[in-house]
Amino acid sequence: MKNLILAVSGAVCSLLPLRFRHVMAKSLLEDPVLVREYGYLYLSSLARKLNVVQLSASGQYGTMASSSNDLSILRKYAETGRWAPEVSERLKVFFAGCGGTYLDIGANIGMTTIPIAQHNDQVKCYAFEPEPINYRNLVRNIAENCPSSNVKTYQLALHEREEVLPFEIADGNLGDHRLHIETGLLAKQNEVGRKIIEVCCVRLDDLPIELTGPVFAKIDTQGAEPFVFAGGRQTLARADTILVEWSPYHMARLGGDPNVVLSFLEEHFNYGQIEEADAKAGQQGESGQMKEITARLQSTITRWRDDPFSYVDVIATRMPSIAQ
C-alpha cells in the first residue's frame, strides 16, 4: 500500500508544471522535522544524481570530507558534529599529560585519528586505510585539520601475509568495506554483488613503526581482526591498551579464526572490558580479568556467527583502572 501511494503521488506530481513542483519541493525542505530526519538522505541522493562525488561537513573536529554516498560516518558527523565521542574521550584520558603512539587500524576518513592528533601533538598517530577513496579523504582531512605533522598514513590492509587481495566495497556504509573471501557463509548484509577491487596487504610487524611512550591500538577491520593479530603479534604485544571490534559474523565471512584474537588477548593482557559498540558515553560495560572476558566472548562465536548485528567492542589493558 505504501509503495502504491508513493507511485500514485509521483505520477500526480509529474503532471504538475515544473515551477510548481519546485515550489512544493522547496516548501518541504523548509520543514525542520523533515530536514532533521531525511535531509542528509536527500542531499546524498541529489549529489549522486548531479555527479557530485564528495561532501563536507563541519563539526567539533573541523571540516571533514567524505564521499557523497557516505550515509553512515559523515552523516552522523553532519547531524551531531562528532563521531565516536567515547573513543575520543578514552584516547584523551589515555594520553593525558604525555606523548605516545596511537595505531588506528581501519582509520576510514580519520574520525578517531584527527581528534587525538589535534588534542595532543605529542602523540604519534599511524592511520591505516586500504580503500582508495576513503584514504584520499583521510589524507585530505588530516591536512585540513591537523596543524602538527604527527600523523603518518598507510594505504594498506593489515594481514598475516604480504599479498594483494580482493576487497569488497559497501554502498552507503563506507565503514563496512572489507576483504572479500568466498567462504560459503550466507550473506546477511547485502554483500552479494558488491563491487570488488584489489588492495595491498602487509604484516604490521614488517612495517618500520616507531613505538614510543604508551601505545594504544584501535582495530576495526570488519572481520579481518584475526589476520591483523597474526601478522602483528610483536607490535601489538607492546600495546598498553587495545580496542578491538568483536564480530563473529564478520570474522566467519572472511574465514578467520576468532580464537586467534582471544588467545592473543589472554597472553598479553590482564584485564578487559566488553562494551556495546553503540554504547553512550559514560555507559560502563562488563569488566574483569581477561580470562573471564575471553570466556564470555568464546561463548558468542557460534551464537553470533549468523548475526551481523551482534557485535561488541573489547578493551584489553594491563591495568584494571584503564578498562573501567
pLDDT at residue 143 is higher than 50: yes
Q: Which three cell numbers stand for residue 83?
A: 563521531
pLDDT at 253: 94
pLDDT at 30: 82
Using the Cα atoms of residue 295, residue 221, residue 314 and residue 73 in order, give the sign of their dihedral. negative
| Residue of higher predicted confidence among 225 and 1 | 225
pLDDT at 187: 84
| Residue of higher predicted confidence among 55 and 186 | 55
pLDDT at 73: 96
pLDDT at residue 14 is higher than 60: yes
Q: What size, in residues, is the chain?
A: 324
Q: Taking residues 276-293, report their average pLDDT.
A: 75
pLDDT at 10: 54
pLDDT at residue 11 is higher than 60: no
Q: Taking residues 272-295, report their average pLDDT.
A: 80
Cα within 13 Å of Cα(149), Cβ side: 0
Give the pLDDT band (50/70/90) at residue 8. very low
Q: In the chain, what percentage of residues exceed pLDDT 90?
A: 76
Nearest to 256 by CA among 284, 282, 227: 227
Provide the angle, in degrees to the nearest 10, between the axes of the packed helices 32-49 and 73-80: 140
- Among 26-40, 86-100, 261-275, 304-318, the minimum mean pLDDT is found in 26-40
How far is CA 254 from each of CA 106, 178, 185, 305, rounded to the nearest angstrom? 16, 9, 9, 12
Give the pLDDT band (50/70/90) at residue 320. confident
Cα within 13 Å of Cα(40), Cβ side: 20
Output the pTM of the full model.
0.90
Contacts of 250 (CB under 8 A, 6+ apart): 178, 222, 223, 308, 311
Spans of all domains in the chain: 83-323
pLDDT digits (tens, 9 = 90+) for 205-250: 999 999 999 999 999 999 999 999 999 999 999 999 999 999 999 9
- Among 136-145, 167-176, 179-188, 301-310, the minimum mean pLDDT is found in 179-188
Give the pLDDT band (50/70/90) at residue 147. confident
Using the Cα atoms of residue 290, residue 114, residue 176 and residue 253 in order, give the sign of their dihedral. negative
Give the pLDDT band (50/70/90) at residue 1. very low
Give the pLDDT band (50/70/90) at residue 283. low
pLDDT digits (tens, 9 = 90+) for 81-140: 999 999 999 999 999 989 999 999 999 999 999 999 999 999 999 999 999 999 999 999
pLDDT at residue 324 is higher than 50: no
* CA distance from start to end of the chain: 50
pLDDT at residue 185 is higher than 90: no
Domain spanning 83-323 has what CATH number?
Answer: 3.40.50.150
Contacts of 19 (CB under 8 A, 6+ apart): none
CB 272 within 8 A of CB 294: yes
pLDDT at residue 2 is higher than 50: no
pLDDT digits (tens, 9 = 90+) for 20-30: 676 666 777 78
